[in-house]
Amino acid sequence: MKRLLILTTAMSLGGSVAATANEALQKLIDDPSQWAIQTGDYANQRYSELDAINKDNVGGLQVAWTFSTGVLRGHEGSPLVIGDVMYVHTPFPNIVYALDLNNDGKVLWKYEPKQDPNVIPVMCCDTVNRGLAFGEGKIFLHQADTTLVALDAKTGAVAWSVKNGDPAIGETNTATVIPVKDKVIVGISGGEFGVRGHVTAYNMADGSVAWRGYSMGPDSDTLIDPANTTHLGKPVGPDSGTNTWEGDQWKIGGGTTWGWYSYDPELNLVYYGSGNPSTWNPAQRPGDNRWSMTIFARDVDTGVAKWVYQMTPHDEWDFDGINEMILTEQTIGGTERKLLTHFDRNGLGYTLDRVTGELLVAEKFDPAVNWTTGVDMDPASATYGRPAVVAEYSTEQNGEDVNSTGICPAALGSKDQQPAAYSPKTELFYVPTNHVCMDYEPFRVSYTAGQPYVGATLAMFPAPQSHGGMGNFIAWDGKEGKIKWSLPEQFSVWSGALATAGDVVFYGTLEGYLKAVDANTGEELYRFKTPSGIIGNVMTYQHGGKQYVAILSGVGGWAGIGLAAGLTNPNDGLGAVGGYAALSDYTALGGALTVFALPN
């Protein structure tokens, strides 16, 4: 603890300098003509004030121009637009292109890292990457092999690079990074290889480490202050990151951090979620397995956790908690509050007070969810904040080598990492979802560094008693915890959504359609089929006085891993290959950027 307090004091001394280090980026984020950060803004709302394209004219959209990335497999994330330049990334080998918007997307420079292809089989669920970041004149790329590289935004020259992990023990990267103040905050992938998750803040100027906070381990590793870090309003106490683990299992405990990050400048807190505990066989890791499956609120300057909330203690289903945290200011219970809304893989939509971590709402955002009857919302209860597990769908209670059937949702969750959007005009969240269930059979597995550490066999299929499809696109009221409208889709909606001031919401489908719907009613206003299935995130920008909408297409990711990697065994891809076998009837591999605009 003494080490932690010394670190906290030392880091705080630089706070006043850091506070002004990234004002230029904040101005870009605030300018709707740009798309300067993957999440649209620090609040992760994915909302644009642009309204030249609106619900009355969006039906007239046309393709303005296209760009081939030259890479197959899954294209997640979106381009960035900074001034007159668009920055585009690819999945492995993680090529970066700078395109001149004044010259029909002419390539200004190209960066192609030389990575060891042996990293590919260590990546869990396709070779995706969720995009680039910008700050202080640099483009930041976190490569598959965990190399974090800073490129000169004008030339593509490498300013600095640093290794964030070791693929030899299963550490890889699929996520974007978040630049905040004078730091770049970076996560890690590899929970299926027994990696212990962590978040690291690197100094933007030179790549040196500012702090690193682990998901589990001693307080000095997790950067948890036992007396002042709270869980549901109460101090977590000493050794919270080890005392719900058996022996040293926490050292290979998972809790990886490959999702999205948001930031509140007023509170100086960064928010993110940790993933599943390792192994997927719950019998091998008795206890709550803290702090896997947890929402973290950390001080940006020091990394010290202000509060935590564990959503799925002792996860038995691989319900990673890494999905985005969307920050809003709304009136709830008659009081204006700073809120955090999170749509978890476990099928529950949460709303918390992001200042204190108080739990306000926890409701199912897919009616098919059956593994729990709900979360105990009584603060006086001994089980406050915990979901009640239905014994029939408990993979541990049913036992090792027993196939638990009909669990909803499947391991890829009612929503995976594909980010939702929020419109302050409607006060609704627009959520891409998976309407998928599974059979799950855990088995005994031993740990070997760099080898898969899963311990379960899965099969996936559409939820029963439904429209027969595997996805929905929904509008959600985060204050009430209710679905306002729902659009069924044949396959999971694996694209990130975009909401605009024009009362239009955009999303993509696994078959390859870009769709535009009315933000208030869900009425479909436009669709266009792009060259490949869409798992990228829709973005918008303005150039030359004209609004554009852009999307990366290129089928892949967990849902599309069968197509992306040429897999045919139904149980491959951790069960996804069989569930999405019909996808090959509608789309094929391809990496392309498609940019839309209204005709002149």
Antiparallel, parallel or unpaired: β 305-310 and 230-231: parallel
> Helix (H, G, I), strand (E, B), or coil: what is residue 37?
coil
Query: Residue 231 and residue 250: Cα distance in Å, rounded?
Result: 19
Antiparallel, parallel or unpaired: β 498-500 and 47-48: parallel
* Structure tokens that stand for 580 in this block: 């999405």
Residue with tokens 């483009």: 139
Antiparallel, parallel or unpaired: β 106-111 and 209-214: unpaired
Strand-by-strand arrangement of the 80-82 sheet: 80-82, 85-89, 96-100, 106-111
Query: Could you tell me which residues come within 8 angstroms of residue 129 by beta carbon, excluding any fewer than 6 positions away?
Result: 76, 77, 89, 90, 91, 92, 94, 141, 142, 143, 144, 173, 174, 175, 176
What is the 3-class SS of 149-187, one letter each residue?
Answer: EEEECCCCCEEEEEECCCHHHCCECCCCCEEECCEEEEC
Query: Residue 439 and residue 457: Cα distance in Å, rounded?
Result: 8
Cβ atoms < 10 Å from Cβ of 340:
27
Query: Residue 373 and residue 367: Cα distance in Å, rounded?
Result: 11
Paired strand residues for 110: 97
Read off φ and ψ for residue 135, nearest 5 degrees.
-175, 140
Query: Could you tell me which residues come within 8 angstroms of residue 50 by beta carbon, excluding any fewer than 6 positions away?
Result: 32, 33, 500, 501, 502, 540, 541, 542, 547
Cβ atoms < 10 Å from Cβ of 566:
8
> First-to-last CA distance in the chain?
63
318 is catalytic: yes
Query: Residue 39 and residue 313: Cα distance in Å, rounded?
Result: 28
Closest CA to 514 of 532, 528, 494: 528
* Sign, Cα dihedral of 218, 443, 458, 453: positive
Antiparallel, parallel or unpaired: β 421-423 and 428-434: antiparallel
Antiparallel, parallel or unpaired: β 513-518 and 80-82: unpaired
DSSP string, 354-384: TTT--EEEEEESSTT--SEEEE---TTSTTT
Closest CA to 177 of 216, 197, 154, 149: 149
Residue 293 burial class via C-beta count within 10 angstroms: exposed 0-12, middle 13-18, buried 19 and up? buried
Q: Which of 318, 320, 344, 366 is catalytic?
A: 318
Distance of CA 303 to the CA centre of its chain: 20
DSSP string, 383-420: TTTPEEEPGGG-TTTT-TT--EEEESS-TT-SS-SPPP
**Any idea which residues carry the catalytic annotation?**
318
